[in-house]
Structure 1
Amino acid sequence: MSSADAAIDDRQGLLRPPAAVLIVGLVMSVYVWVILATTVPYPGRIGLDYNTLGTDWMVFYGAIRSVLDGHASLVFDGDRFTAFLNATFADWLSKPLEFRPWAYPPSFLVLLLPFAPLGFFGSYVAFQVVSAALMAAALRLNAAGPGSSGVLLVMALLCPASAINVMDGQAVFLVVALIVAGLGLLEQRPVLCGLAMGLLTFKPQFCILVPLALIAAGQWRALWAAGLSALALAVASGLIFGWDLWLRWLPLMTENLVNPDAKWIEYGRLWGNSVYACASLLGAPQQLASAIQLLATIFAAGSVVLAFRSRLSTMEKTAVFLAATVLAAPHSGPYDQVLLVVAAAYWLMAQGRSQPLWCWTLMFMIWLVPIISPPLLFAPSRLAPLLTVTLIALVLRRALPMVKLPTR
């Protein structure tokens, strides 16, 4: 344990939200969870129309079932795959899906395989329960002290972003679990850290900063373990499902990087919360929006290097990594704000017992973003990346005096 970690432990890192922030935050959370409860019988009646529960899980489940049933080629044709989903889940959907392609590497299918025999609804519920339990276990193990873990779990599991994650059937709980558990093990169990962080390759947009963090920390064993973990997941997918999936996916992803699919931009990226989406919706042309996203990624990368070269506590480094991961991602959704809620909570816990009102105001604004998302429909949320940058800067302001300079 580092001296910074010990200092936080001494203060217990208690989270004590002011009464006004607590009440308003709970009301907002209850509202979004009520939207979840009413989405099937009354979609869009009291809030944003989510069509039905698990529309993103339809993509995940539809992909694994298609591959297992011998129709792998279907997965790599966005229009055909969307038509397949609309036909398969016609009884679930309140209206047809417009465009839902599979954009993930074949390695993701390995993680979905255990859930495939449960059917659509059973697998949807099981994945959310299992991934939420993994996130809760990771957060509990890496809380600053016994007095903080309960509030931290409530904040993470009941925040509006978590409700949206459950509504969509997304995988952000698993992403948080891998990052928090991995970085929590970095100093004492670097190999286990690397094994966990390598699994983030199932969603490539969330693993791009992993090598930078491990190199900056000088954790070469963790870096090698992360590479082996990612490779093992890829090899497992090839052995189980066939290498043809990789031969189809790699050219498709390369083409999308060079010449993005117009439908994916219209129905995917512009419905997200990324820097690219927000810049585009604020009027930036596509090339300028891409340049702004690149600058955000460079800032995120530099922030991670600075944090992991410093003597910040593990909790503060994790906060920077979580926030920087969201900022750098070329595509993210309102559910991915769970990463930012945990990051902000860690930052607050690092403040010790005294957490000023302005700190909780920033936390509340981060908490609120999913409710006023997506930016395509709610203009104020187009400025949300500024909150992420602010959070990173606030954590890093203590890092500069702590940076470990290389020795000759």
Structure 2
Amino acid sequence: MQIATDEAVSKVLPVRQPWLTRKRVVVYSLALLICQLVLLGAWAIGHWGLHLRGVPPLGLDFRVYWSASYVSLHNGAIQAFNPQQLLAVEAKLLPDTPLGQVYAPWVYPPTFQLLIYPLALLPYLASYSLFVCLGIACCLLVCAPAVRAGALPWVSVAAFPGIWVATLCGQNSLLTLALAAGALGLLERRPILAGACAGLLAIKPQLAVLFPLMFLCGRHFRALGAMAVTAGLFCTVSALVFGLPLWLRFFDMLSWFNTVVVQNGEGGIWSAMPTAFALARRMGASLSIAYAIHAAIVVPAVLVTAILWARRVRIEVRSAALIVTTLLAQPYLVYYDLTWLILPIIFLCVDGRTQGALTHVECLMLGLVWLLPIPSFLAVFKPSIGQWGAVLLPMLLIIALRRALPYRSFNPGL
């Protein structure tokens, strides 16, 4: 089939299906965006306006950040890891909730603790509002070049459910998304700045582990060096500000969290995790079998992604593969981390404009991935829905690999 002309491409998304016109995508996206904003508004009014019992404040995860900041400011940073002190602050934010359902532990590195340290200088609502507005602004800012290039309409980016799930939870996914986008989007033009963005992912280091490997495979040595220096300085500053014992306490808490919560599913966390590891554990697999299943998916994914970077295939394709593989590699991944999926969607849409239109299957898969944060969030309340990310993420990686095949350079319309 012949590739669409430039004039036709300006009227449709980079796909070869006439039914997926830009106008229709805008309408569908706008409808979903309105629904999500109405839900968030109703939730906010129910809690802060009508003071309805049983309606918690927005940002149930953000309450942990704010509480850790409050404890750090008033009692010292290391006390954020003290369950009694943290619970006392969290309980004031959820006065109508039984204490057994209130406590959420602080299990973040001192780098992130340094970032959230001043949050409690503002009241909870103001602090939450500032935090999520900054995150949304960063997300839209890093997506702007792709929107200007015509890969996706603005409303489709703004309506991406991952943004609003992260907002609802008050999670840091929007900030880490912006850093990952900066690391990949600036890599070929400003490698030092790209490496600095990757180094700042030390606020959530498990999401940064594959970046050094791919920078090395792709021979992006300046970015690799900048990442190492930035991460090292960030960790050093946090140790100088808070003291080395805070790092030791963090590793102790991390070990406890991995054993009790991740490996044994305390608090029903497996229902919130779109990973092969969590799926295997929910189905009754032993710990060793679950890790083996997880490794059987992750090892090939890392290898093929490393090959893409070593062969220096198109930056959009290997960037999409890196993001997907980063998510696949995590045994502990929660539904709000799927906010990162807007990046491979954008990268592949950009590739569709420059290297041949997306096929029907590719288009369908991107649509399902775009919607994925919604069922992943709902599965927390109704586990029977299932965490389909464990299936869709490997399929998305396969799409990226297909678009990297050499023949596409010669016959991109196939």
The two structures have a TM-score, normalised by structure 2, of 0.82
Deviation at 1:175, TM superposition (A): 1.2
Counterpart amino acid of residue 62 in structure 1: S
How many residues were matched structurally?
Answer: 382
Deviations 1:26-45 (A, max 9, x none): 444433333222224558xx
Instruction: Give runs of aligned pairs for residues 207-356 of structure 1, distance below 5 A.
Output: 207-254=208-255, 256-257=257-258, 259-261=259-261, 265-267=265-267, 269-270=269-270, 271-352=272-353, 354-356=357-359
Instruction: Give runs of aligned pairs for residues 142-161 of structure 1, distance below 5 A.
Output: 143=146, 145-148=148-151, 151=153, 153-161=154-162
Q: Larger Rg: 1 or 2?
A: 2
What percentage of aligned pairs have identical amino acids? 26
**5+ long unaligned stretches in structure 1:** 1-7, 44-48, 403-408
SS of residue paired to 2:302: helix
Instruction: Tell me how far apart the structure 1 counterparts of residues 286 and 24 of structure 2 sit (CA, whole Å).
Output: 41
**Pair 1:372-2:372 in alignment:** no
Deviation at 1:391, TM superposition (A): 0.9
Aligned to 2:182: 181
CA 1:198 to 1:26, structure 2 compared with 1: closer, same or farther past 3 Å? same
SS of residue paired to 1:191: helix
Deviations 1:347-394 (A, max 9, x none): 133122733443332122112222222445243433322211111111
Aligned to 2:108: 104
Deviation at 1:266, TM superposition (A): 2.0
Instruction: Tell me how far apart the structure 1 counterparts of residues 55 and 276 of structure 2 sit (CA, whole Å).
Output: 23
Deviation at 1:398, TM superposition (A): 3.6
Instruction: Tell me how far apart the structure 2 counterparts of residues 387 and 245 of structure 1 sit (CA, whole Å).
Output: 38
Q: Do the aligned residues in 1 keep the contact of 2:128 with 2:170 (CA within 8 Å)? A: yes
Aligned to 2:57: 52
CA 1:397 to 1:14, structure 2 compared with 1: closer, same or farther past 3 Å? same
Residue in structure 1 matching 2:13, options 15, 18, 25: 15
Instruction: Tell me how far apart the structure 1 counterparts of residues 70 and 106 of structure 2 sit (CA, whole Å).
Output: 13
Instruction: Tell me how far apart the structure 2 counterparts of residues 57 and 287 of structure 1 sit (CA, whole Å).
Output: 33
Deviation at 1:121, TM superposition (A): 1.6
Q: Do the aligned residues in 1 keep the contact of 2:342 with 2:370 (CA within 8 Å)? A: yes
Counterpart amino acid of residue 107 in structure 1: T
Q: Do the aligned residues in 1 keep the contact of 2:314 with 2:404 (CA within 8 Å)? A: no
CA 1:180 to 1:204, structure 2 compared with 1: closer, same or farther past 3 Å? same
**Pair 1:389-2:407 in alignment:** no
Residue in structure 1 matching 2:141, options 137, 143, 146: 137
CA 1:277 to 1:327, structure 2 compared with 1: closer, same or farther past 3 Å? same
CA 1:30 to 1:263, structure 2 compared with 1: closer, same or farther past 3 Å? farther
Q: Do the aligned residues in 2 keep the contact of 1:156 with 1:342 (CA within 8 Å)? A: no
Residue in structure 2 matching 1:360, options 360, 363, 385: 363
Deviation at 1:241, TM superposition (A): 2.1
Aligned to 1:61: 66
SS of residue paired to 1:382: coil
Instruction: Tell me how far apart the structure 1 counterparts of residues 94 and 106 of structure 2 sit (CA, whole Å).
Output: 19
Q: Do the aligned residues in 1 keep the contact of 2:29 with 2:159 (CA within 8 Å)? A: no
Deviation at 1:24, TM superposition (A): 4.8
Q: Do the aligned residues in 2 keep the contact of 1:209 with 1:304 (CA within 8 Å)? A: no
SS of residue paired to 1:351: helix
